[in-house]
Amino acid sequence: MTSNLRALRPTAAAGLALLLTSSGVLHFAAPASFDAIVPEQLPGAARTWTHFSGAAELVTAALIAAPRTRRFGGLLAALLFVAVFPANVKMAIDWSDRPAWMRVLAYGRLPLQIPLVLWAVLVYRRAAASNTVRRGR
């Protein structure tokens, strides 16, 4: 592997950790927009789910930031991106009567989950490969 590709390994993890940290902080700093997209089928208060998902994002970001836990963090991030997909669907449905540009944003979030899951899987795989190399396998 070239040195340029090696340099990208931590960048993918750092970028994902930064994204998750930013989103996690927003869940606490501006929770109302997240509350609005919590599916009604979930038991309990929407704010509880908003805080729970924000905390999950912050924990996942911390796991990805630390090389020893990066592999688990990448896997957890992939699962987290799948788990929040119903909220994105709810947003798209709820915004069906909004102006066109807002509908584009809401519907644009749906396929965005695919590259996010793939990004998390990439971090997971790179961390797994890095662990294998360090162990001398």
Spatial CA neighbour of 78 closest among 31, 24, 125, 36: 125
Ranking 3-12, 59-68, 98-107 by mean pLDDT, the lowest is 3-12
The full length of the chain comes to 137
Helices 70-83 & 3-29 angle (0-180, nearest 10): 50
Q: Taking the model in full, what pTM does it have?
A: 0.86
**Residue 44 near residue 78 (C-beta atoms within 8 A):** no
- Say whether pLDDT at 7 is over 60: no
What does the domain layout of the chain look like in residue ranges? 3-134
Residue 5 has pLDDT above 80, yes or no: no
- pLDDT tens digits along 28-54: 999 999 999 999 999 999 999 999 999
Helices 100-134/85-94 angle, 10° precision: 170
Which residue type does 60 have? T
